[in-house]
A and B are shown apart, each in its own frame.
Chain A
Amino acid sequence: MDRLIELAPEFWTAAAETLYMVALTMLFGGAGGFLLGVGLYVTRRGGLLPNVVVNNVLNVVINFFRPIPFIIFIAAVQPVTRAVIGVGIGTDAAIFALSLAAAFAIGRIVEQNLLTVRPGVIEAARSMGAGPWRILGTVVVPEALGPLILGYTFIVVAVIDMSAMAGLIGGGGLGYFAQLYGYRQFEPVVTWAAVLLIVAFVQVVQYLGNWLARRVLRR
């Protein structure tokens, strides 16, 4: 316990790093994943803008990257990180890798949630003369908003999990803190302090997500 009190500054810095990484990952990865998901959704057969080639390319790309364990992905993607961010290590480099990995997962989640919109509703909008982009923006996304929020909530929790591995490339965060000061120095209290804070983050995120989804669904 004394050790934890000693480490308080490092602990809060790590917590802030985790929040910073998760927030920016959700911003960039969330936007990229949304575009990927929408791309998959509109180009599929019978979709709003069917396009077999684009659909197949997106599917192959996502299926290629998604199964790679993040701890390997973060290392494998380093040359790209260096080209884009300028450096291969550090918090910003970790955010880049996290955003990329999250985008592929979010793409699938977005696609699945958009697919829950009943085809009849889309047909109704078409029968009123609405074009595909208008239907996407004013019918499909609003109708799927509740499940989309829950899907994004699910991803935030997954990104908190992935961010624990950012330490591998010097990204910091609570995962790295627990490894460095807890596990390696035989300080279970320190390890558990990090665990409990992560659990608290997840609880808050899940609660907010549920609350928001319920408000949107108004049920």
Chain B
Amino acid sequence: MALVTLEHVTKSYPAADRRAEPVTAVDDVSLEIGAGDVFGIIGYSGAGKSTLVRLVNALEPATSGSIRIDGREITGLAERELRGIRLGIGMIFQQFNLFDAKTVRGNVAYPLKVAGWRAADIRARVDELLDFVGLADKAGARPDQLSGGQKQRVGIARALATRPRILLADEATSALDPETTHEVLTLLKRVNEEQGVTIIVITHEMDVIQTIATKVAVMDRGRVIEHGDVFDVFSGPRHPSSQRFVGTVIKGVPSPAELAVLRERHEGRIVTFSFRDGDASQAQVFIDLAAAGLEFELVYGGINDIRGRAFGHLTLAIRGADAAIDRALETVARHADVTEAR
């Protein structure tokens, strides 16, 4: 059974004034997030992903639809009951949202106090958490004495304090430089793998998804337009918006502009071969082309690795008799997807 289930969830805000239309931030979204997943939700700003994640811990009530956490329906629950639900869901933020007036220890201890833990237990748990995120020496420091990466690590320790089963990460690395981003993502991966915490990652950066997510949903104007295994979405994005996101991290089929440049520089027919899973089919393509006596060169593309599974798109310029090329492409089509640029 899924840990988080959304069914036809919609969130709309009333119109700002009489002339304006009501704003639908989340539009009829249905998703299932399994225990142990790192579920990425990607979209441009304004796509509704931040609102969607706030529906999961009921910081905002859904307008309609059903949201179940571990089988329990949370829509329509009273605020007091929702507080109990929120204790089981941690959240980290783009701007970290640490309490500036409290020390690092005070920040991490806060949710434990809310949960009613005993002082001695809080102390031990905070030590354990700071150790886990590598900030044991910063317990007495104040947030303004920390770097961005350290602040987010405190945020993660604080979010995990009450041992929640779910962690919501709202653009958690968007305010960080690439190296620090990597550090924080590695930590989140450990949280998922070592503590079995299900993580929902909101981002507009595809490489965040590529680095840690196992499942991904692409959002556009409030709707989920495509979702599935990260490998499937990356290796064969169907929706134009998904293709654009995938294109930011992966060299796939050349765009028309890129194609024009390629044609200028290379003679012959420009053909893209797409591979999934394994290198055997890739080798076979080259063997087939060589056996047909064709001359070819690699002009564009790359091979990618997502969680240990490889896929790629290689664009070749092929020269030779047209009939021979056609015959060779027919043979190759048995091992790889063939797209010829016209």
Chain A positions near chain B (C-beta within 8 angstroms)? 118, 120-121, 123-131, 134, 138-139, 142-143, 145, 216, 218-219
Contact between A121 and B99, CB atoms less than 8 A apart: yes
Contact between A130 and B99, CB atoms less than 8 A apart: no
Knowing A138-B110, A139-B99, say if A129 contacts B83 (CB, 8 Å): yes
Q: Which of B89-97, B248-256, B266-274, B277-285 contacts A (4 or more CB under 8 A)?
A: B89-97
Contact between B83 and A143, CB atoms less than 8 A apart: no
Roughly how many angstroms separate A218 CA and B100 CA in the complex, as a whole number? 10
Q: Which residues of B contact A123 (CB under 8 A)?
A: 59, 93, 97
Roughly how many angstroms separate A176 CA and B159 CA in the complex, as a whole number? 59
Q: Contact size class for B? A: 20 to 34
Instruction: With CB as the reference atom, state the residue of chain A lying closest to B112.
Output: A128
Which of A126, A129, A130, A138 has most B Cβ within 10 Å? A129
Q: Which residues of B contact A130 (CB under 8 A)?
A: 83, 110, 114
B15 at the interface (CB under 8 A from A): no
Q: Which 8 A-B pairs have the closest CB atoms?
A: A124-B97, A128-B111, A127-B91, A129-B86, A120-B97, A129-B83, A142-B101, A129-B87
Partner of A124, one of B84, B87, B93: B93
Q: Which residues of A contact B115 (CB under 8 A)?
A: 129
B142 at the interface (CB under 8 A from A): yes
Q: Say how far B28's CB is from chain A's closest CB, in angstroms.
A: 25
Helix, strand, loop or mixed for chain A's interface?
A: helix
Q: Say how far B23's CB is from chain A's closest CB, in angstroms.
A: 16
Contact between A142 and B102, CB atoms less than 8 A apart: yes
B210 at the interface (CB under 8 A from A): no
Helix, strand, loop or mixed for chain B's interface?
A: mixed
B5 at the interface (CB under 8 A from A): no
Partner of A131, one of B83, B100, B111, B159: B83
Contact between A128 and B97, CB atoms less than 8 A apart: no
Knowing A138-B110, A218-B142, say if A127 contacts B99 (CB, 8 Å): no
Contact between A121 and B97, CB atoms less than 8 A apart: yes
Instruction: With CB as the reference atom, state the residue of chain A lying closest to B85.
Output: A129
Q: Say how far A25's CB is from chain B's closest CB, in angstroms.
A: 28
Q: Say how far B277's CB is from chain A's closest CB, in angstroms.
A: 40
Roughly how many angstroms separate A197 CA and B144 CA in the complex, as a whole number? 40
Could you write out 10 A-B pairs with CB less than 8 Å apart?
Answer: A121-B99, A124-B158, A127-B59, A127-B91, A128-B162, A129-B83, A129-B86, A129-B115, A142-B102, A143-B99
B235 at the interface (CB under 8 A from A): no
Roughly how many angstroms separate A59 CA and B87 CA in the complex, as a whole number? 36
Q: Bits for B293-313, please: 1 = Cβ < 8 Å to A, else 0.
A: 000000000000000000000
Partner of B87, one of A128, A134, A145: A128
Instruction: With CB as the reference atom, state the residue of chain A lying closest to B168.
Output: A127
Which of A128, A131, A134 has most B Cβ within 10 Å? A128
Q: Which residues of A contact B114 (CB under 8 A)?
A: 125, 128-130, 134
Contact between A120 and B87, CB atoms less than 8 A apart: no
B242 at the interface (CB under 8 A from A): no
Q: Which residues of B contact A124 (CB under 8 A)?
A: 91, 93, 97-99, 158
Contact between A125 and B110, CB atoms less than 8 A apart: yes
B57 at the interface (CB under 8 A from A): yes
Q: Bits for B72-87, please: 1 = Cβ < 8 Å to A, else 0.
A: 0000000110011111
Please give 5 more A-B residue pairs, beta carbons under 8 A apart, in addition to A124-B97, A128-B87: A118-B95, A125-B110, A127-B159, A129-B83, A142-B99
Q: Say how far B152's CB is from chain A's closest CB, in angstroms.
A: 13
Q: Say how far B318's CB is from chain A's closest CB, in angstroms.
A: 55
Roughly how many angstroms separate A111 CA and B7 CA in the complex, as a whole number? 41
Contact between B95 and A120, CB atoms less than 8 A apart: yes
Q: Which residues of A contact B168 (CB under 8 A)?
A: 127
Knowing A120-B93, A121-B99, say if A126 contacts B59 (CB, 8 Å): yes
Q: Which residues of B contact A138 (CB under 8 A)?
A: 110, 113
Q: Bits for B256-269, please: 1 = Cβ < 8 Å to A, else 0.
A: 00000000000000
Contact between B84 and A129, CB atoms less than 8 A apart: yes
Q: Which residues of A contact B89 (CB under 8 A)?
A: 127
Roughly how many angstroms separate A116 CA and B91 CA in the complex, as a whole number? 23
Q: Which residues of B contact A120 (CB under 8 A)?
A: 93, 95, 97
Partner of A128, one of B86, B93, B95, B102: B86
Roughly how many angstroms separate A218 CA and B114 CA in the complex, as a whole number? 26
Q: Say how far A89's CB is from chain B's closest CB, in angstroms.
A: 44
Which of A121, A124, A131, A216 has most B Cβ within 10 Å? A124
